């Protein structure tokens, strides 16, 4: 017995993905739990240390590091700063005009290879730029923490963010539909 079934027609809707905040989207006191965590690999630590010409063997020489009170390599602190800043981009500076400052950088707990780092930011202030009316100035406090909840870095960051409708257009090519 042969039956012919037709597939139901499916309607698709293209929905834009998260595209970051513009100046008007920031409210003082808002807390953004950044969505991605990142496990730090030995390769990350070694490469970053060597790329930045940091010659401290504590970061890349396991034998040397085994003789310290840590007993193992510490992750290069500037890697931690870069990682946590990067984690915050989708919420804080996707539409950045310029980074103005990192202030009050503290590292209250060490980061080791194989730690997973998460982060969150709190909006401290938001104001329209006096010299550039197409941007606003945002100040956030950002914390990075490991898989155990220990804060490994905290800092304040000040960025100029485009106001809605004033930033560069993010053009993408149109996808060509293929007949099936």
**Is 179 within a domain?**
no
Total structural domains in the chain? Answer: 1
> Any idea what the CATH number is for the domain that residue 60 is in?
3.10.129.10
What is the pLDDT, as a whole number, of residue 9? Answer: 82
Q: Which of 24-28, 35-39, 118-122, 175-179 has the least mean pLDDT?
A: 175-179
**Is 115 within a domain?**
yes
**Is 54 within a domain?**
yes
**Residue 118 or residue 6, greater confidence:** 118
**Domain span at residue 93?**
23-162
pLDDT (tens digit per residue) in 70-91: 999 999 999 999 999 999 999 9
**Residue 133 or residue 13, greater confidence:** 133
| Confidence band for 19, pLDDT divided at 50, 70 and 90 | confident
**Is 81 within a domain?**
yes
Query: What pTM did the predictor assign?
Result: 0.85
Tokens of 2: 């042969």
What is the pLDDT, as a whole number, of residue 2? Answer: 57
CA 115-121-127 angle, 5° bins:
155
**Is 111 within a domain?**
yes
| Confidence band for 172, pLDDT divided at 50, 70 and 90 | confident
- What is the average pLDDT across 100-126? 97
Q: What is the mean pLDDT of the chain?
A: 91
**Is 132 within a domain?**
yes
Dist. CA 132–CA 33, nearest whole Å: 29
**Is 17 within a domain?**
no
**Is 6 within a domain?**
no
CA 19-24-30 angle, 5° bins:
85
Dist. CA 127–CA 179, nearest whole Å: 50
Dist. CA 127–CA 122, nearest whole Å: 15
Dist. CA 30–CA 122, nearest whole Å: 6
What is the pLDDT, as a whole number, of residue 71? Answer: 96
pLDDT (tens digit per residue) in 139-166: 999 999 999 999 999 999 999 999 998 9
């Amino acid at each position: 017995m042969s039956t012919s079934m037709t597939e139901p027609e499916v309607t698709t809707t293209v929905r834009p993905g998260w595209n970051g905040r513009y100046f008007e989207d920031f409210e003082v006191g808002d807390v953004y739990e950044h969505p991605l965590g990142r496990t730090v690999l030995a390769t990350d630590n070694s490469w970053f240390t060597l790329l930045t010409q940091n010659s401290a063997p504590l970061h890349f020489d396991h034998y040397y590091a085994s003789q310290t009170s840590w007993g193992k390599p510490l992750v290069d602190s500037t890697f931690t700063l870069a990682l946590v800043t990067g984690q915050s981009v989708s919420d804080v500076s996707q539409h950045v005009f310029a980074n103005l400052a990192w202030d009050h950088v503290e590292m209250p707990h060490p980061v080791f290879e194989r730690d997973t780092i998460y982060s969150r930011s709190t909006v401290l202030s938001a104001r329209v730029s006096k010299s550039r009316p197409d941007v606003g100035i945002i100040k956030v406090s950002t914390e990075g923490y490991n898989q155990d909840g220990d804060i490994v870095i905290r800092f304040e960051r000040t960025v100029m963010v485009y106001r809605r409708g004033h930033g560069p257009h993010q053009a993408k090519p149109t996808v060509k539909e293929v007949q099936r």
